[in-house]
């Protein structure tokens, strides 16, 4: 099993920044992609950004140019720097790790952007 602990959520005004971090522990081997998803009330969980084991990032179109994902393979962490936040970015953000055919999720951290 892989355990994921997230940190860094909170409340910020529109135009502000937040940084989310996620630390993986447990049976950490052969981790493929690490990333972040988000879910707001009444909507499906959606990919925000993901980074492969080789460091190749993928971003949702709505966050491209504003969010930056980074990964530290030595520390088994993944971070999401979120700039120019907008009210529509308000959601619970979940850390996600893919290990072979298994997927693990963090408990989620709330991000609220006020207008």
CA distance 74 to 50: 17
Can you give the pLDDT at residue 13?
Answer: 98
When pLDDT is averaged across residues 23-40 and rounded to a whole number, the result is 93
Please provide the average confidence, as pLDDT, over all residues in the chain.
96
CA distance 108 to 12: 17
Can you give the pLDDT at residue 28?
Answer: 84
CA distance 63 to 61: 6
Alpha-carbon distance values, 98 to 12, 51, 78 (Å): 30, 11, 12
When pLDDT is averaged across residues 62-89 and rounded to a whole number, the result is 97
When pLDDT is averaged across residues 80-89 and rounded to a whole number, the result is 98
Q: Which of 70, 71, 92, 80 lies closest to 28, judged by CA?
A: 71
Can you give the pLDDT at residue 96?
Answer: 97
Q: Say which DSSP state 63 is in.
A: T
Task: Please tell me the total number of residues recorded for the chain in this structure.
Answer: 115
């Amino acid at each position: 099993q892989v355990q994921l602990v997230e940190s860094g959520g909170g409340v910020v005004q529109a135009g502000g920044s937040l940084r989310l971090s996620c630390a993986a522990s447990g049976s950490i081997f052969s981790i493929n992609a690490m990333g972040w998803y988000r879910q707001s009330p009444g909507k499906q969980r959606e990919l925000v950004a993901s980074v492969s084991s080789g460091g190749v990032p993928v971003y949702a179109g709505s966050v491209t140019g504003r969010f930056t994902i980074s990964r530290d393979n030595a520390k088994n962490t993944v971070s999401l720097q979120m700039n120019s936040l907008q009210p529509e970015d308000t959601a619970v953000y979940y850390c996600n790790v893919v290990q072979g055919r298994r997927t693990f999720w963090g408990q989620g951290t709330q991000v609220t952007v006020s207008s």
